[in-house]
Structure 1
Amino acid sequence: MVLGPGGSGVSVLAAAAAFTDAHPVERAGTLPVREHRDTVLITLDARSPVPALLGVYRVAGEPVPVTSGVDLLHVGRLDVIERAWTEFTAALTALTAGRTALPVVGTLASMAPGELTDLPGAAEFLMLRQVRDAATSGEWRRVVVDLSGVGDPFALLRAPTVLSAAIERMWPRATRLAQAGEKPVLAQLSAAIERIDRDCQDLADLFCDPHSVAAHLVLDASERSRRVAADHLAIADVTALPLRSVLINAGDADRPTSPTADTVRGILGDPDGVTVREIASGGVLDRLSRIRKIAVPVAAPSGRPYGSGALTVESSGEGLAALFELRWRQGLPEPDRLHLGRSGDDLLVTVAGFRHPVRLPSVLRRCRVVGANWADGELSVRFEPDAAIWPARQGGTGGAVSS
C-alpha cells in the first residue's frame, strides 16, 4: 500500500513501484496468458489521473492490461455502492415476497443506492473489500494499492472498524441472533449482516497483518512534508500499519540529501525494519514511458508486527492485587494531544488528532485503567483488576505476553 499527504506524488510513485520489478507474463501465440498476471495496480481515486498517464481507458471494477506484466484496476466509490446495494435489496425483495415483512425490512429494500453514501464506513468498506478480493484471488503475484485521492488514508483503513461499530449500535449481535431465531423472516437478513460484520473484522485484521501487507509512506521534499511527517508516522504506530519504508519524492536527481529525509530519520531513530529512500522523479511525468524510468523498489511484507500490533503486557502480583502494564512503541509529536479512553474491549487512543481503537488482550478486558505514561518513544498504560468482574481464581502471570 502506498499512501501519503495529497500532492506528494503518491500516484506517480505507486505506478512506478508497480512497474519496478514487474515480471512480463509468458505469452501463448499473440495473446497474454490470463490465468495468472504478475502485478495489479489498484487506484481508489474517482478522479485519478493514473489511467490517462498509463494510456488506458478507465473501466471501473475490471482489470485493464497496461503492459505484459501489469494491469490497472480502478475501484470507484459509487460503482461499488450501487452494485452491492442492488444485490442486497434484490435479496431482501426475494426474501419478503409473499410474506408480511417487518417495517425495517421494507424500508431497507426501498432505499436507493445513492442514499447510502453517508452510512458511516459503508462505501470505504466496499472499496476495501474489492481490494481484498483482488489480492486474494490468486490472479496476481503482487498487488500495489494507490491510496491517494481518498482524503485521509488512515481513516479509509479504519472504516471497517467504524462500520462494524455502527452495525453493533443499530442492531446488536445478541439481539439480531435472538430475533433471527424467533422470526424466520429475519434469519437470512441476520445472516447477511453477520457476513458483513465478519468481513469488517477480516479487513481490519488484513490491513495490519505484517505477513500480507507492506505500507510505504510517500512524502515530498517540501516544508509541509517536514511538518506532517511526525504526525503520519505516529498514526502508523497507533494503527499498527505495517510500515516498511518512507519514500521521499526528491524531484531533481541532482539535489543533495533532502531535509525531509533527515527529518524522517531523526523521528524514526532506530527504524526497526523501516527504510528511508529518496526517489529522483524529476521531469514531466506525463506518460507511461517516463514513469517506467523511475525505479521505486518497495520492500515486501516483513512478518514483523508494527506499532500497537507489537504490544506486550507485563504483569506482577496476584489476584485483585495484580498490576498489568500494556506497552508499545508509539511516536508522539504533541504529547498534550494524547488522549486515552475506554469503549468495551477497546482502548481508544487519540494521537495527532486521530482516534483509533486498540483491541485489548483478553486479560485486560476485565481490568480498569489506573494510569498511563509516555517515555523514550514508548506508550505504557497500567491496569488493575476490576473486582466486579475479575474471576476469583485468576491472578497475574508474573511475566510478559505479546498481543
Structure 2
Amino acid sequence: MRVILFTGKGGVGKTTTAAATAVRAARGGVKTLVMSTDAAHSLGDALGVELWAAAGQPVEVEPGLSALQISPPHLLGESWRVVQDYLLSVLGTLGIDTVVAEELTRLPGAEEVAALLEMRAQVESGPWDLVVVDCAPTAETLRLLALPEALAWHLDRLLPAQRGLIRTLRPAAAAAAGVPLPEPAVIEAVTGWQRQMRQVHRILTGDETSVRLVLTPERVVIAESRRTWTSLSLYGFVVDAVVVNRIFPGAAESSDAAQPSDVAATPDPWRTGWNTAQQAGLVEVRESFAGLPVVVAPYLAAEPIGVEALAELGRAHGGDDAQDLLAPVTHRGMTVERTDEGFTLTLPLPLAHARDLGLQRRDDELLVAVGEHRRVLTLPAALQRCVVDGASVREGVLQVRFVPDEEVWPRG
C-alpha cells in the first residue's frame, strides 16, 4: 500500500493534480483510490462524477479507479455523542445554559478527525495499491497532519491513569469533585480515539506515505511552499516531490536552459511578461527545493475536467508508466546518537534558520517551534536524564546537544 498526499496554497491546482495522478496510476495498472479532505469538495467536479450520493462509500470512476467523499457525521456520530453527553452533564452541574453547553461541546476539527479515520480504514482494509489524498489548502493540511500526534498526546493526559480505581471510588470521588465522573463508555470512546490516532500517525510517518507540494511559479506561492516544507519536516513527514502547475509554453524550456532572452522576441508583451516571470519562478523553485524532483505541468488549452482530460495531464506529470508512484520513501525523522560528551538529537528542518526556531525543555519533553507551528517531542529515556547543552541549525538540520544530568546520572 502506498499513500500520497497532495497539498498547496488554495487555487494552485491541487485537486486537479491529485485527480490526474490517480487517473495516471489506475490506467497504469495500479488499483487506486482518490479521496478528498478538502472542505471545498471539488474532487467530484474534477473527475466529472457525483460523489455525494454515495454516503461515504467509494464510487468506481472507471476500472481500477475509485473516488471517495468523506462524511464526518457518519464516521464520528455515536462515539462522540457518548463523550458529548458526559460533557453536557458536567456543564449542567456547573449551571451553564443548555444551549450554550451544546455549542461548547461541539467537536472541533470533526472533519479532520473523520478524514484521518477514513484514510486509516482504507489503507488498512481497502483493496487498493495506492491511496491518493487531495488535502485541504496548506494551513488546514498542516493542522490535519499534526492532529494524530497532538491528539494522542492530549488523550494520554486526559485518560485517568487508574481507571479501575475510579470505578471503585466513583460515588465518593464524584462527591469530592462536585461533578459527575466519566462512565466506562466515555473512557472507552476516548481510549478508542487514542488508539486510532496512534495508528494514523504510524501510517503518516511510515515508509509508504509521502506528501507532494503543488504550486505555481509565483513568488508568494513559492514562499509559502518553502515554509510548508519546513513545517511538514517538523512534524516528521516526508515531501518527495514538487509539482509546478500552469506553465506557459516556452517558459519551462527557457528556464531549463537559463536563457530568459529566448522569449524576448515574443511579440505579445503580456505573454512575454508572464514567460519571463515564470522562468524566474522555476529557477527559484529548483533552487529552493534542491534535492527534490520537480515536475513541471503545462497550462493546458482547456480546463482539465473528466478522466480523459486528467489522463492527458497525468501523462505530462510522469508519462504512462505508473509504477514509480509505488516506490517507497525514505524517512529522515528524529534520530539520537551517542557522542563523547553525551547525546545529539537531530531533526531535519529544510530551509529553516535559527531565527525562525524556538526550543523549550519541559520535564521529559522538548518543544520545538518553527514560526507558528509547534511540535512536542517526548524524549527517549536516555535524554530524559540529560540536560540541554546547546542547539544549532545548519544546512536544514536541527541538532540539540544533551549532556548527562549528574544529579540523576552520575558520570562513571
TM-score, scaled to structure 2: 0.76
Which whole-Å deviations, capped at 9, do the CAs of 1:130-160 have from their partners, x for residues lacking one? Answer: 1111121132221000003474311110112
Q: Residue 242 of structure 1 corresponds to which residue in structure 2?
A: 238
Find 2:212's aligned residue among 206, 212, 216: 216
Which whole-Å deviations, capped at 9, do the CAs of 1:184-226 have from their partners, x for residues lacking one? Answer: 98444323322211112222222111x2202111111112122
**For residue 379 of structure 1, what is the amino acid of its counterpart?**
L
In the TM superposition, 1:181-200 aligns within 5 A as 186-200=183-197
Q: Residue 179 of structure 1 corresponds to which residue in structure 2?
A: 166
In the TM superposition, 1:276-291 aligns within 5 A as 276-288=294-306, 289-291=308-310
* TM-fit CA distance, 1:276: 1.6
* TM-fit CA distance, 1:314: 3.0
* TM-fit CA distance, 1:367: 2.1
Q: Which has the higher contact order (CA 8 A, sep 6+)?
A: 2
Confirm whether residue 166 of structure 1 aligns to residue 154 of structure 2. yes
Q: Residue 275 of structure 1 corresponds to which residue in structure 2?
A: 293
Over 3 Å counting, the alpha-carbon distance change for 1:283 and 1:384 in structure 2 is same
Over 3 Å counting, the alpha-carbon distance change for 1:91 and 1:143 in structure 2 is same
CA distance in 2: counterparts of 1:156 and 1:327, whole angstroms: 24
Which whole-Å deviations, capped at 9, do the CAs of 1:295-323 have from their partners, x for residues lacking one? Answer: 234643534113xx152323224xxxxx2
Find 1:49's aligned residue among 42, 53, 68: 42
Find 1:362's aligned residue among 377, 381, 406: 381
Q: Residue 328 of structure 1 corresponds to which residue in structure 2?
A: 347
**For residue 40 of structure 1, what is the amino acid of its counterpart?**
L
Q: Residue 114 of structure 2 corresponds to which residue in structure 1?
A: 126
TM-score, scaled to structure 1: 0.77
CA distance in 2: counterparts of 1:122 and 1:344, whole angstroms: 31
**For residue 352 of structure 1, what is the amino acid of its counterpart?**
G
More helix by share: 2
**For residue 283 of structure 1, what is the amino acid of its counterpart?**
A
Q: Residue 385 of structure 1 corresponds to which residue in structure 2?
A: 404
Contact 2:334 2:345 (C-alpha < 8 Å) held by counterparts: no
In the TM superposition, 1:312-351 aligns within 5 A as 312-317=336-341, 323-351=342-370
Q: Residue 66 of structure 2 corresponds to which residue in structure 1?
A: 71
**For residue 18 of structure 1, what is the amino acid of its counterpart?**
A
Q: Residue 393 of structure 2 corresponds to which residue in structure 1?
A: 374
Q: Residue 331 of structure 2 corresponds to which residue in structure 1?
A: 305
CA distance in 1: counterparts of 2:368 and 2:83, whole angstroms: 39
Which whole-Å deviations, capped at 9, do the CAs of 1:11-56 have from their partners, x for residues lacking one? Answer: 010000001131488xxxxxxxxxxx91111011232222123221
Over 3 Å counting, the alpha-carbon distance change for 1:87 and 1:165 in structure 2 is closer
**For residue 46 of structure 1, what is the amino acid of its counterpart?**
A
**For residue 81 of structure 2, what is the amino acid of its counterpart?**
T
Question: Which segment drifts farther, 243-252 or 258-267?
Answer: 258-267
CA distance in 1: counterparts of 2:102 and 2:196, whole angstroms: 20
CA distance in 2: counterparts of 1:16 and 1:132, whole angstroms: 23
**For residue 285 of structure 2, what is the amino acid of its counterpart?**
V
Find 2:15's aligned residue among 2, 7, 11: 11
Computing the radius of gyration over CA atoms, which structure comes out larger, 1 or 2? 2
Which whole-Å deviations, capped at 9, do the CAs of 1:45-75 have from their partners, x for residues lacking one? Answer: 2322221232211324111111122111011
Q: Residue 280 of structure 2 corresponds to which residue in structure 1?
A: 259
Find 2:77's aligned residue among 80, 85, 88: 85
Which whole-Å deviations, capped at 9, do the CAs of 1:60-113 have from their partners, x for residues lacking one? Answer: 4111111122111011xxx424642335536999xx9xxxx9955999xx9999
* TM-fit CA distance, 1:334: 4.4
Over 3 Å counting, the alpha-carbon distance change for 1:294 and 1:181 in structure 2 is farther
Which whole-Å deviations, capped at 9, do the CAs of 1:331-354 have from their partners, x for residues lacking one? Answer: 244431210123454322112332
Over 3 Å counting, the alpha-carbon distance change for 1:92 and 1:3 in structure 2 is closer
CA distance in 1: counterparts of 2:105 and 2:309, whole angstroms: 40
CA distance in 2: counterparts of 1:279 and 1:251, whole angstroms: 6
CA distance in 2: counterparts of 1:207 and 1:339, whole angstroms: 25
Q: Residue 205 of structure 1 corresponds to which residue in structure 2?
A: 202
* TM-fit CA distance, 1:127: 1.8
Name the % identity: 24
CA-atom RMSD, angstroms? 3.3
Q: Residue 229 of structure 1 corresponds to which residue in structure 2?
A: 225
* TM-fit CA distance, 1:381: 0.5
CA distance in 2: counterparts of 1:198 and 1:131, whole angstroms: 15
* SS class of match (1:240): coil
Question: Which segment drifts farther, 7-16 or 64-73?
Answer: 64-73
* SS class of match (1:139): coil
Find 1:39's aligned residue among 32, 35, 40: 32
Which whole-Å deviations, capped at 9, do the CAs of 1:162-199 have from their partners, x for residues lacking one? Answer: 32233344x34415454246559844432332221111
* TM-fit CA distance, 1:294: 0.4
